[in-house]
Amino acid sequence: MSCVSVPKILMPKTGTDLYKWAVVACDQYTSQPEYWEETDRIVGDAPSTLRITLPEVFLENSDVEQLTDTINETMKQYLSDGTLAELPAGFILTERFSGGETPRRGLVAAIDLECYEYTAGSRSLVRPTEKTVVERIPPRLKIRKHASIEVPHIMLLIDDPDRTVIEPMFAQTAQLEQVYNTDLMQGGGHINGWFIPQGEQTDRLIAAMDALNDREVFQKKYHLSEELPLLPFAVGDGNHSMATAKAYWEEIKQTLTPEQQQDHPARFALCEIVNIHDESLIIEPIHRVMFQVDAAALLEAAREYYAANGSTCEITYAEDAASIALTQQENAHTVGFCFGDRCGTLTVHNPKWGIPLGTLQAFLDDYLSGHADAKIDYIHGTDVVYSLGTAEGNMGFLLPDIQKNDLFRGVIIDGVLPRKTFSMGEAHEKRYYMESKRIVK
C-alpha cells in the first residue's frame, strides 16, 4: 500500500485575486497581532484563506467560538457559491521563491493518515520529526470537527539525495497547466503552481516515492546494522496540523463501515512534499543555554550520566571560541560549550543516540529533572550563545551543523528528535495557504 494518494484539490475560481487569497500558515507571528491586523486590512472583502483559517494569535480570544462558527460558515459559502472549484484528481507541482538563492520545489499531494502516527515509539511510515505536544491538538480539533474543508500548511519531507521524485518534473512544466502564478503578501515572495492530472505522471511520482521505501536502499543510506522501521516520509512542518487531522480521522472512522473508510475524504491529508535535499531548505541547529547551574558540577554529571549509559565522555578545553572544532568522529558525538572565561568540547564516544543533539539533550533532560532551579532556553545564533552562556551561573552548548540525512537518521534511531532540534526557514518562508480539499462527504 502506498501512503500517497491522488486528491481532488480545491482551488479558488478563475479571476480570484490570489495575492489576497493566499495567507501565511496560522501558527506564524503568534506574538505579533499587528501582522494579522495588516493582513486583514490587505484582504478587505476579497475571498481569502484568512476567512477560513484561525490564526493562533487569536486562539485565546473570548470570542474564539464565534470566530470558529464564522470560519465554518464561510467554508460552506465558498463551496456553494463557486468561490472554490474542485479540480480533477491530480497533484500540483509548486515552486516558491522567498528571497533565497533558489526556490523551494514541492509536490502538493494527499497522504493516507493510516500511514501516520504521532505517538511516542511509532513505527509508522509517516512520522513527526519532533515530539508532538498532545495538549495542542484539542483546540485545533474543535475547529476541524465542524469544518467542511481543510486548508493545510503541512510540509512532508522525503530523503531523496539523487533527486528522483520531484525535480525531474520541472523539465515538463511547459506541458502542464499553470494554476497559479502570484506574488505573496507581507514579504512572502512569489509562488508558481502547475497541475499534474492523474495518470502516467502521477503513477511515476508515486512509484518513485515508493522506491525510497526499499529495505536494502534504506539500510545502506542510514548505515543501519539492524532492521529498524522504514521511514519514507517525515513531517518537517505543520506536525500539529497533521496530528489534528489524524485525531479527527480516528473519531470519524468509528462511525464508518470498513468499505466507507476506504475512500472517505477525512482519511487523507493534503500536504506539500519536499525533498530535504532541496537547495532552498537551510536547516540550522538550535543551540542550548543552561541557567542557574554550576558548570563544573554539570560537566562532572555529564561524565557520570554517559558512563551509566554505556558511553564515555571526553572533555577538552580550547584556548578560545574560535578554536572550538565540532568535527564529528566516527562513533562519537561532539558539542561545544562555554561558561565564564572557558570554552571547549564535550565528546561522547559510543553514543546510543542517533545524532549529537539527541546525545546532549538526553543528558540535559536528566540533569534538569534533578535540579529544580536549573532552566534551559533554545537559542538561534552562536553569538547569542556566547553572550548568554558566559554570564555568571550560565552555560552555553553549541551544536554542530545538521547534516540533512541526520534528520531522518535521528528519527529512525531515536524515535523522534528532541524538541527544538532545528530551524527550517523564517516565518515569511513558511507555507502560504493556497490549495484546499474536502474532508466531508
Residue 347: its pLDDT value, please?
97
* Residue 236 CB-half CA count within 13 A: 27
pLDDT(1) > 80: no
Helix, strand, or coil here: 111?
A: strand
pLDDT band at 203 (very low <50, low <70, confident <90, very high): very high
Q: How much is the mean pLDDT over the chain? A: 93
Nearest of 42, 26, 11 to residue 185 by alpha carbon: 42
pLDDT grade, residue 339 (50/70/90)? very high
Set of cell numbers at residue 194: 502547475
Does 280 have pLDDT greater than 80?
yes
Q: How confident is the model at residue 218 (pLDDT cuts 50, 70, 90)?
A: very high
Q: Does residue 259 or residue 423 have the better pLDDT?
A: 259
Per-residue pLDDT of 69-98, as tens digits, reads 999 999 999 999 999 999 999 999 999 999
Q: How many CB atoms lie within 10 A of CB 368?
A: 15
Which domains does the chain carry? Answer: 4-282+425-438 (no CATH), 287-398 (3.30.160)
Whether the predicted pLDDT of 422 surpasses 90: no
Span 141-199, pLDDT tens digits? 988 999 999 998 999 999 999 999 999 999 999 999 999 999 999 999 999 999 999 99
Give the span between the Cα atoms of 206 and 201, in whole angstroms. 9
Q: Is 186 left (phi over 0), alpha (psi -120 to 50) or beta?
A: left
Closest of 278, 284, 230, 277 to residue 404, by C-alpha: 277
Q: What percent of the chain has pLDDT over 70?
A: 100
3-state secondary structure at position 249: helix
50 three-state secondary structure: helix
- Residue 440: pLDDT band (50, 70, 90) is very high
pLDDT in tens, 240-276: 899 999 999 999 999 999 999 999 999 999 999 999 9
Q: CA 347, CA 306: separation in Å to the nearest integer?
A: 10
pLDDT tens sequence across 39-65:
999 999 999 999 999 998 888 888 889
What does pTM read for this prediction? 0.84
**What is the predicted pLDDT for the residue at 134?**
82
Evaluate if residue 223 carries a pLDDT over 90. no
pLDDT for the residue numbered 380: 81
Which range, 100-114, 121-135, 408-422, is most confident? 100-114
Quick one: pLDDT at residue 64?
87
Q: Which amino acid belongs to residue 241?
A: S
Residue with cell 475571498: 47
pLDDT of 191 reads: 98
Res. 133 pLDDT band, cuts 50 70 90: confident
3-state secondary structure 367-415: HHHHCCCCEEEEECCHHHHHHHHCCCCEEEEECCCCCHHHHHHHHHHHC
- Alpha-carbon distance 1 to 396, whole Å? 46
